[in-house]
Chain A
Amino acid sequence: MMKLGELAGSGALGRHASDGLYFRTGPFVTRLETAYPPVLDLLARFYGETEVFPDPVIASFNVAIRRPLGPRRWWRAQALFAIEDTLPFEPYPLSHAYPLLEWGLNWSIATRSNHFLMLHAAALERGGRALLMPATPGSGKSTLGAALAFRGWRLLSDEFGLIERASGRVAPLPRAIPLKNRSIPVIRDYLPEAELGPEFEKTRKGTVAHVRPPDDCIRRQTETAAPAWIVFPRYIAGHPTNLRPIPKGLAFVRLAQNSFNYRVLGRVGFQHLTDLIRRCACYSVEYSDLDSVIAALGDMTAAPGPEVP
């Protein structure tokens, strides 16, 4: 198996990427075309352990980061994200080419991958069982997810709870974790061992910096996990940790609202979401202190599971 990191630094990566670099992204293979080296450098730095394919394989997404022809190639230079022959987004400043690739890939996954029930959630694994944390606004899910990923949990995904429709299991999609604004100093302070990429300023979401995913979660990116817990986190400054079971009906409704394709899947989506909720213990947690919420989640995994309607 060839790894992305092995191609980096030798010029081989650039040669591959100019006529299509095939690399693994969790359950998917992405084909990337780009002639812009900084994007490749960062990709290799974050995903050095990911598998690359020297010969063409069937790719789920065929994407490119290009520079426009015409004046904007050089004057206030721009970058374009293309999937197949369409450009789903407005051009970005060239200096934001890397976040554009990450966003574009997320968009591509979310609009196409209907062989999964796709939840907008962070997912982590411990002892073969998966924790799903839906991304309600203000939840602090990326910060909490990043913290857990370095405190005894395996990061499955920061953005996607991918439920395999055939098995009901959670498929990993480990990617660099984009931290926004105030989360960046929080994580720098809390996780000195975590490696952060460059800070991209003045993006659509303010300043963004990516946490490099732990190598182990990339190496195990095809290893699925059984869903066991659904926890709706909510960050409230100064609030003590309060983890408590919630009714499954409520969890269902809130999860349906935090899904990328629940509506598109129709009846199939309803069936899979119902199955998922039945299998999982459902909680909500308010928190402000990371140590304390991590401890509470650890206790939760030891408990037999709550009795709730």
Chain B
Amino acid sequence: MSPLLRLFARPETAPHLSPTEWNLVLRAGHSQHLLARLGFRLEAHGVADACPRAAWDALEGARYFAELIQVQVAREVRAIRKALAPLGTEVILLKGAAYQLAGLPLSLGRHASDLDVLVQREQLAAVEARLLASGWEATKLNAYDQRYYRTWMHEIPPLRHRDRDIEVDVHHALLPLTSRLHPDPALLWAESVPLDRPGLRVLDPCDMLLHTAAHLFQDGEVKDGVKDLLDIQGQLEAFADQTDFYPRLLERARRLELGRPLYYALTFAHLMLEVPVPQGVLAEVRAFGPGPLADALMRRLVTRVLDPHYPLRREPVIAQWLLYARSHWLRMPPGLLTGHLSRKAWLRLTERPGHPVARPPSQGGDDPLA
């Protein structure tokens, strides 16, 4: 286990870290935007004061940018609620916005990258029209991207308000239409929980966790998923004490066809973050797992790719590629996949290349070099 994940798993070890271990924690934490979260976690476990000054400065200093984005997310949610009010439609907040507005501790210091909402499919067209009329604009204008989203995906092409920086993803389902799993949105709406602000809901706690699991293990290529794994840890910590949480979780997984992602979520949260999932639950969820060969392979690949071991060894390129291939395999049937990937490759060859250099998020201040 990398020093960063070990510290998330066992915050009480913070006072015993060597400078070299701290450097590894800080470097990986900066790269993955996890320092603010780690700082709040250490604080909640009463070890903030035991951290060396230089380390704490980095952990505390990372908070402000995360908080700035959270302020922007809250403002965006208000704007969406206002824009949709005339329709009388409700939205379910997903992921970061849901954790934040439901006040879950795991949202402290969490870096949101965009705002995800779920609407009823029959209201999708009206919602999109209303948002477009109220200042939001499509960020992907290429005709193929538009068609790709509308025909095959579980969301419309991303929107962004012309005056603001937050990308809004409007979903009508949790997984792509082409995916092998089809959690029924009607079941999600039926159990969803209203927030104290009218028009806003969040998923039922079990469904919320299942959505994170599906996002990490069914919809994505796992690679940048350490944030999702920490979300799973945070939700288990927040919900596990509710009566009958685990039996209900297993039951919801069955009904929503999300048993396999749940198997991976509980297994890897237990394996990589030492989350105390009861042995009985781990045994029961095994029934959702794959065969022993695939299971052994996934354990090897996921632990290699998810753990930010930076910078001790080379990037696990092959494991990353296998999980990338797997994510596409799960996303769409083989014929469609071949068509999509060739199309993407053709566009890459014929379109003008974009900017090659990745930029870390700016703090929004002046550029000292300008």
Would A113 and B61 be within 8 Å (CB), given that A58-B19, A87-B357 are in contact?
yes
Q: When chains A and B are docked, how far (Å) is the Cα of A265 from the Cα of B27? A: 22
Q: Is the CB of B61 within 8 A of A31?
A: no
Q: Is the CB of B57 within 8 A of A84?
A: no
Q: Is the CB of B311 within 8 A of A85?
A: yes
Would A260 and B363 be within 8 Å (CB), given that A56-B20, A84-B310, A113-B61 are in contact?
yes
Please indicate the chain B residues that have their CB under 8 angstroms from the CB of A86 in the complex: 31, 358, 360
Please indicate the chain B residues that have their CB under 8 angstroms from the CB of A259 in the complex: 365-366
Cβ-based interface call for A57 (8 A) = yes
Q: When chains A and B are docked, how far (Å) is the Cα of A85 from the Cα of B31? A: 7
Q: When chains A and B are docked, how far (Å) is the Cα of A263 from the Cα of B364? A: 7
CB-contact partner of B27 in A57, A62, A90, A204, under 8 A: A62
Please indicate the chain A residues that have their CB under 8 angstroms from the CB of B61 in the complex: 112-115
Q: Is the CB of B60 within 8 A of A260?
A: no
Q: Mark A106-120, 1 if CB is under 8 A from B, else 0.
A: 110111111100101
Q: When chains A and B are docked, how far (Å) is the Cα of A73 from the Cα of B14? A: 41
Q: When chains A and B are docked, how far (Å) is the Cα of A29 from the Cα of B20? A: 13
CB-contact partner of A60 in B18, B57, B363, B365, under 8 A: B57
Q: Is the CB of B58 within 8 A of A112?
A: yes
Residue of B26, B62, B366 contacting most chain A CB atoms (<10 Å)? B366
CB-based nearest A residue for B311: A85
Stretch in B65-73, B127-135, B199-207, B281-289 touching the partner: B65-73
Q: Mark B62-103, 1 if CB is under 8 A from A, else 0.
A: 111101100100000000000000000000000000000000
Q: Is the CB of A261 within 8 A of B64?
A: yes
Please indicate the chain B residues that have their CB under 8 angstroms from the CB of A261 in the complex: 64, 363, 365
B315 CB to nearest chain A CB (Å) = 9
Q: When chains A and B are docked, how far (Å) is the Cα of A87 from the Cα of B311? A: 15
CB contact list, B24-66 vs A, under 8 A: 26-27, 30-31, 52, 54-55, 57-58, 60-65
Cβ-based interface call for A89 (8 A) = yes
Would A265 and B310 be within 8 Å (CB), given that A107-B369, A260-B366 are in contact?
no
Q: When chains A and B are docked, how far (Å) is the Cα of A110 from the Cα of B19? A: 23
Cβ-based interface call for A236 (8 A) = no
Would A114 and B62 be within 8 Å (CB), given that A56-B19, A263-B68 are in contact?
yes
Cβ-based interface call for B368 (8 A) = yes
Please indicate the chain A residues that have their CB under 8 angstroms from the CB of B65 in the complex: 114, 264
What count of chain B residues pass the 8 Å CB interface test?
37
B309 CB to nearest chain A CB (Å) = 11
Cβ-based interface call for A266 (8 A) = yes
Cβ-based interface call for B22 (8 A) = yes
Q: Is the CB of A84 within 8 A of B19?
A: no
B162 CB to nearest chain A CB (Å) = 20
Q: When chains A and B are docked, how far (Å) is the Cα of A187 from the Cα of B202? A: 63
Q: When chains A and B are docked, how far (Å) is the Cα of A264 from the Cα of B62? A: 10
Q: When chains A and B are docked, how far (Å) is the Cα of A109 from the Cα of B369? A: 12
A251 CB to nearest chain B CB (Å) = 17
CB-based nearest B residue for A58: B54
A224 CB to nearest chain B CB (Å) = 15
CB-contact partner of B64 in A55, A57, A110, A265, under 8 A: A265
Cβ-based interface call for A186 (8 A) = no
Cβ-based interface call for A295 (8 A) = no
Q: When chains A and B are docked, how far (Å) is the Cα of A62 from the Cα of B19? A: 13
B29 CB to nearest chain A CB (Å) = 9
Q: When chains A and B are docked, how far (Å) is the Cα of A113 from the Cα of B52? A: 16
Cβ-based interface call for A240 (8 A) = no
Cβ-based interface call for A308 (8 A) = no
Cβ-based interface call for B23 (8 A) = yes
Cβ-based interface call for A103 (8 A) = yes
CB-contact partner of A111 in B31, B63, B67, B362, under 8 A: B362
B47 CB to nearest chain A CB (Å) = 16
Please indicate the chain B residues that have their CB under 8 angstroms from the CB of A110 in the complex: 363, 365-366, 368
Q: Is the CB of B363 within 8 A of A90?
A: no
Please indicate the chain B residues that have their CB under 8 angstroms from the CB of A120 in the complex: 366, 368
Q: When chains A and B are docked, how far (Å) is the Cα of A261 from the Cα of B366? A: 8
What 5 A-B pairs come out closest when comparing CB atoms? A114-B61, A260-B365, A58-B54, A115-B57, A110-B368
The 25 listed contacts between A and B (C-beta, < 8 Å) are A29-B54, A55-B19, A56-B19, A56-B20, A57-B19, A57-B54, A59-B26, A60-B58, A85-B31, A85-B310, A88-B357, A88-B359, A89-B357, A106-B368, A112-B61, A114-B60, A114-B64, A115-B57, A120-B366, A259-B365, A260-B363, A263-B365, A264-B64, A264-B365, A268-B64
Known A-B contacts: A59-B54, A90-B357. Give 8 more (CB < 8 A).
A56-B18, A58-B19, A60-B54, A84-B30, A259-B366, A263-B68, A263-B365, A265-B64
* Interface, chain A (partner B; CB < 8 A): 29, 31, 55-60, 62, 84-90, 103, 106-107, 109-115, 118, 120, 159-160, 204, 258-266, 268
